[in-house]
A = this chain, B = another copy of it.
């Protein structure tokens, strides 16, 4: 971010009065340009005990398997975002049951929020951002080819809770692996 999105002038980096962090500030119109984490919202959805997974057609992690999830849009609720992503990536109509998992990803300034859900009628397909979609048995989950740690975490918590017949709400932090 180099230019003011309001007036087009060059920005400088400074700590605004009363603030404690450096921000990009426009010396011309005075706008302070805050940058904040993005929410990625998705859903672990069941049908007949099987779980809906999609194989990514786009980077990052093209070819790897994920739960339908993506950036939340302005004007949506978190539940609407989760349902939209299932519709886009897996052509599936999903009913949201409850929030299920929260994963902070501070090194890329993201927060991943996953719901539990169920397919409305068992129908699904392959959306434009997917190479493939499946309803998979627990035994057939491709653990070595899961796209993201937050998806791995959500699936693990989900299967554990399902065995216990008690679903909670889970949270963790996904930290960047340190270069050894």
Contacts and interface: CB of A to CB of B under 8 A. Distances in A.
Contact of A10 (B8, B76, B107, B173): B8
A74 B1 contact: no
A1 to B, nearest CB: 4
Contacts of A37: 39, 72-74, 76
Contacts of A35: 74
Q: Which of A6, A88, A113, A168 has the most CB of B within 10 A?
A: A113
Interface residues on chain A, size class:
35 or more
B18 A111 contact: no
Secondary structure dominating the interface of A = loop
Contacts of A9: 8
Given A36-B39, A78-B104, A98 B171 contact: yes
A158 B88 CA distance: 36
Given A4-B3, A74-B109, A102-B78, A36 B33 contact: no
A8 B36 CA distance: 21
B18 A128 contact: yes
Contacts of A36: 38-39, 71-74
A24 to B, nearest CB: 8
17 contacts: A1-B5, A3-B4, A3-B5, A18-B128, A37-B72, A37-B76, A39-B39, A72-B111, A74-B109, A75-B106, A76-B104, A76-B106, A77-B106, A78-B104, A79-B173, A98-B171, A102-B113
